[in-house]
Amino acid sequence: MEFTISNRRWLVAGQPEPVNPNFALGLHIPGRFDKILDIDSCHIQPEIGNRITAVVRETAIANGLKPYDPKTHIGFLRHLAVRFTHGGDQVMINIVTAWENPDGLAPVVTALTDAFPQIKSIVNNVNTRRGDTAFGEKEILLFGTPTITEQLNDLTFEISANSFFQTNTRQADNLYQAVLTGANLSGEEIVYDLFCGTGSITLFLARQAQEVFGFEIVPPAVEDATRNALTNGSTNAHFQVANLDSFFRRPDNYSNLPQPDVIVIDPPRIGIHEKLATSLPQIGAQRLVYVSCNPTTQARDTGYLINGGYHLAHLTMVDMFPHTPHIETVAVFQRN
């Protein structure tokens, strides 16, 4: 869960007094970048998460830590992100601030570690930019280890604060099985995994492919993926940092790699850049497996791929977020 910390609290009619209008730790009001609804209880995170947010809120206010103002860009505390492993035995806290001040965060760290032995990692991401993001230019380890460990199927993954990993771990296993089915591997294929994150899909593929090459723009995620391959004994999985918007526009960037038989794509909600979409047919893979959390952008990108010489052969839906309108889709494309 990722919460925003702001001095612009959305005040609810009939809310019991007293209410501090200048501190909110919660979620954005729909359609408003500047108003945050203070959250006491979030039902889609484990109960320990609600107690953690309460401790952060109380300790920050008691120690005069000022929330960030999205309009004036003044203030220290910007975001609180909390990761939980599937078993609930490991928790990672990511406190995002507008500048570096470990001493200022020390009371929060002490309060959290005293109250919650499940916390294995507390990091501080420093985001000095005006953009409203929980990623920082610098990461400081305040407590414990820089990663937590998650189990998915029979694979073990170390996850750092800025690395993407599927939130619904149980259902992720079904999603990855759908990817494997779409890839239709015999053990002889070369596979490229684009937007590979911490290597979760890559390592699933590596068990049934000859070699898999993962590409990802976030360096900490590539470090996690490389470490995860070693942990799981996947000697045929390789990873590199690459800006996928432009990487495959230049054949010399990947001329030292074997040509892929299958390409797996799992981009963020914005889909794939048009430059990447038009580059994919030039790489020569016979099959593409496109995993999407946004059918709208996937539909747009399907047009690019069809124009590039592929046809849509199969489409599978996986419900990663029950009771919401969101759906994950796995599209399989074959070269004409």
pLDDT digits (tens, 9 = 90+) for 24-34: 999 999 988 88
pLDDT at res. 263: 98
Same domain, 138 and 162: no
Report pLDDT digits (tens) over 44-102. Answer: 889 999 999 999 999 999 999 999 998 999 999 999 999 998 766 899 999 999 999 99
Mean pLDDT of 246-251: 92
The whole-angstrom separation of Cα 281 and Cα 285 is: 7
pLDDT at res. 88: 64
pLDDT at res. 170: 80
Chain-wide mean pLDDT for the chain? Answer: 92
pLDDT at res. 306: 95
pLDDT(135) > 80: no
Report pLDDT digits (tens) over 282-312. Answer: 998 999 999 999 999 999 999 999 999 999 9
Same domain, 93 and 8: yes
pLDDT at res. 112: 98
Same domain, 216 and 240: yes
| pLDDT tier for residue 133 given thresholds of 50, 70 and 90 | confident
pLDDT(134) > 90: no
The whole-angstrom separation of Cα 78 and Cα 27 is: 12
Mean pLDDT of 263-267: 97
**Which of 123, 145, 167 marks a domain boundary?**
145
pLDDT at res. 12: 81
Find the CATH number of the domain harbouring 312.
3.40.50.150
Mean pLDDT of 158-185: 88
pLDDT at res. 158: 85
Mean pLDDT of 151-164: 83
Report pLDDT digits (tens) over 194-234. Answer: 999 989 999 999 999 999 999 999 898 899 899 999 999 99
Same domain, 173 and 267: yes
What total number of domains does the chain contain?
Answer: 2
Mean pLDDT of 120-147: 90
Same domain, 51 and 163: no
pLDDT at res. 49: 95
Q: What residue numbers bound the domain in which 300 lies? A: 152-335
Same domain, 51 and 185: no
Q: For the full predicted model, state whether its pTM sits above 0.85.
A: no
- The radius of gyration of the chain from alpha carbons, rounded to an integer in Å, stands at 21
Same domain, 35 and 178: no
pLDDT(118) > 70: yes
Same domain, 138 and 189: no
Same domain, 318 and 172: yes
Same domain, 158 and 104: no
Catalytic annotation on 196? no
List the catalytic residue out of 293, 318, 330, 332.
293
Find the CATH number of the domain harbouring 14.
2.40.50.1070
Same domain, 41 and 85: yes
pLDDT(274) > 80: yes
Same domain, 249 and 100: no
pLDDT at res. 17: 65
With the C-alpha atoms ordered 325, 37, 166, 52, is the resulting torsion angle positive or negative?
A: negative
**Which of 104, 119, 145 marks a domain boundary?**
145
**Which of 122, 145, 168 marks a domain boundary?**
145
Q: How many CB atoms lie within 10 A of CB 103?
A: 7
